[in-house]
Chains A and B, each alone.
Chain A
Amino acid sequence: MSILVRRSNLVVPAVQSRMVVRSWTRHADAVTVDLQDGTPAAELARVRETLRQSVALAGKGGAQVFVRVNADFVYADSNAAIGPALTGIVLPGVEAADQVAEADAILADLEKIHGVTRGSLEITPSIETAAGIWHIREIITASPRVRQVGIDEAALAASLGITQSSEHDAFVFARGRLCIEATAAGVQPIAVADPMGVQTGQISHETMTQIATDSRNLGFKGMVCGHPSWIDPVNEAYTPTESLVDYYTQVREVFAQALAAGTAAAPFAGRMIDVPVDEWAKDVLAMSAACAARDAEKQAALAAAEASFDSSIPVIG
């Protein structure tokens, strides 16, 4: 089974045309064009007119493109975005399975109308309330379109009356539940690791790498990036390092030798190597290869886009 590599997901407000125009150059694995936060209601109709063009533009560098729709306008927003460049929608404020089921039905209709492959559009539920966390199992199993699920920590904090602080992590349980339930359902959890929820704007490469590494080591498979500077460290943190690849290559060799010698447990570098360690070594090496393939794919798309770059493209929005 192929590995879904979607480490970084850059969010750009649909109404901020400069951000949208530049999003394809940022090396993100995914870009989410946001129609919800940051897009005034009065601007929605105008933004929808150029949304399909924005989606195509955001994907020029090989990123998969999502549109965060308004919960009250799933049909109109999705209808405006749908096209060959759209990977799926981010559905905000999901609290119950029927919201996902309804979005599934809407996307099915739109796929038929627009000639898009049936069932191809994804739904990424964004969990923003206690009800959403509580009903997570029903939500993520409500449609096969759900391949990733995330917590919007800022929204969750607001809904719970929490003032986020780097000293007190209020979401240990919420993140843990998300990771367990999503993994159990074969869905990728994406989120941010404490104190990510209180971070905004530009953050040092080193700090973001650590935050993203902690996030990965909680079980998340990618991070939503609120600023372009987060993308490279996030991609790095979610890609097995050279030293990890070297280590697990050696683990595989040691384990193979142990098996040949008649045992499935062998000491190596101060640890005990057995079946699950060898299985994990296979996973890490496969992930490394998948990340390299994804990076090559994006690099090729980026090179092609740069070669055909037309500076006369009008600023949209």
Chain B
Amino acid sequence: MASTPRRLKRSGLTMPVVTPRFINNAWHRGCDYINMDLEDSVPPRLKDVARNLIRESISVVNKGGADAVCRINHDLMEADLNAVVWPGLMMVNYPKAEYAHEIQRMDGIITRLEAERGIRPGTVEIGANIETAVGVANAYEIVTASSRVMDFGGASGYDMSRDLGVEMFVGFDQFVYGKGEVELAARAAGREPHAVPFTPNITGSVSDPDRAFAEADAARKCGFRIGGGLHPAVVEPQIRGFAATDDEISDAMWVLQEYRKLDRTGETWVQVDVASVDREGSPRPMAADSYLGRHRVIDRYEAARAEELLQWRSRCQERDQEKAEAVARVNAAEAAESPG
């Protein structure tokens, strides 16, 4: 069963904090989180400038309900943490994580900063991103190095490709072992794996909405719950891809209904030919030719899956409502301030 993250991260945009138009527009993009970047998208000569922008940018990017996240530099960890751990920051993304001691050091610094800056202890999360073979090899030690590590993934992407010396976008799953190791480590540790199943991609486009939807849909069906991207065009498709469809929700309710009937018989499982089920009824199973198939087994595992799906939908709806209300508040405030 998919784990349940503390905060939903279905869609997020990573953007250089030094580009004002990105930061100023971030709040109405509809993301669950905004990842303000101090790392790869910020030129070395602007690192100090970027650091000093984070504190004020937190309240800019999260005013539409998105959570504020910051990606720091691997080699500038302490200086970056000092600049970014302020009230309102939900998570620090740590790139190229390779050893448990790095995470333990981060935890110590964040703990001190939380105490000094009036932040509720233990609330700033760490996202540990695996981007090298060493990181994959030490995955379990890294993810268990701190209880703050709530988002754990990677083992693919440009840095990983460079470390392995491979070209990306070649049309087959080059990273299957590393991604599997990282996911396994995350799940074994009870943390949220940040991953997507392989879907062929030979273009490398970061703005293809169809691809973003297909990837998010596949990710959800494989039990992943975290998305993210670089271009505003992928936000809505990701949110949609991570949402259960109406047919899936009806199916889940039907599964639970059938399971309750089963429970009363004393049997532990039953197989149902969904082609014989009334298609006009409600709730009803997915069609016989759907990806779930025609002959469906109803048992406690299916019931648990259905239960989780309904909970997931509920959490998605709550989060969407939360963001909509935040955006409405901003719009109302701006309307009140505007002349006339």
Q: Which residues of A contact B (CB under 8 A)?
A: 137, 172-173, 175-177, 179-184, 213-214, 216-219, 221, 244, 259, 262-265, 270-272, 274-277, 279-280, 283, 287
Contact = CB atoms under 8 A, between A and B. Distances in A.
Contacts of B159: 276
B40 A181 contact: no
A276 B158 contact: yes
Nearest to B157: A276
Interface string B259-301: 0000000000000000000000000000000000000000000
Interface in B175-204: 176-178, 180-181, 203-204
Contacts of B104: none
B257 interface: no
B90 interface: no
B52 interface: no
B167 interface: yes
Interface in B134-150: 134, 136-137
Nearest to B206: A272
A137 B137 contact: yes
A274 B177 contact: no
B165 A283 contact: yes
A221 B133 CA distance: 15
Contacts of B203: 270-271
Given A184-B133, A216-B166, A262 B176 contact: no
B133 A263 contact: no
Interface string B104-146: 0000000000000000000000000000111011000000000
Contact of B204 (A182, A265, A270): A270
Contact of A180 (B19, B40, B136, B166): B136
B177 A172 contact: yes
Contacts of A271: 203-206
Q: What are the 7 A-B residue pairs with the smallest beta carbon separation, nearest first? A: A176-B177, A183-B133, A276-B158, A265-B41, A219-B164, A184-B133, A275-B40
A217 B133 contact: no
Nearest to A178: B177
Contacts of B158: 274, 276-277, 280
B133 A272 contact: no
Interface residues of B, number: 37
Nearest to A181: B137
B335 interface: no
Choose among B41, B42, B174, B177 the residue with the greatest number of A CB atoms under 10 Å from its CB. Answer: B177
Nearest to B98: A184
Given A181-B137, A272-B230, A274-B40, A217 B167 contact: yes
A263 B41 contact: yes
Nearest to B49: A262
B65 interface: no
Given A271-B206, A280-B158, A280-B162, 14 more contacts: A176-B178, A176-B180, A179-B177, A180-B133, A180-B178, A214-B170, A217-B172, A219-B164, A219-B165, A264-B16, A265-B40, A271-B204, A274-B41, A283-B162
B226 to A, nearest CB: 20
Given A181-B133, A280-B162, A176 B176 contact: yes
B66 interface: no
B163 interface: yes
A280 B158 CA distance: 8
A263 B18 contact: yes
B174 A264 contact: no
Nearest to B138: A184
Nearest to B135: A184
B19 A263 contact: yes
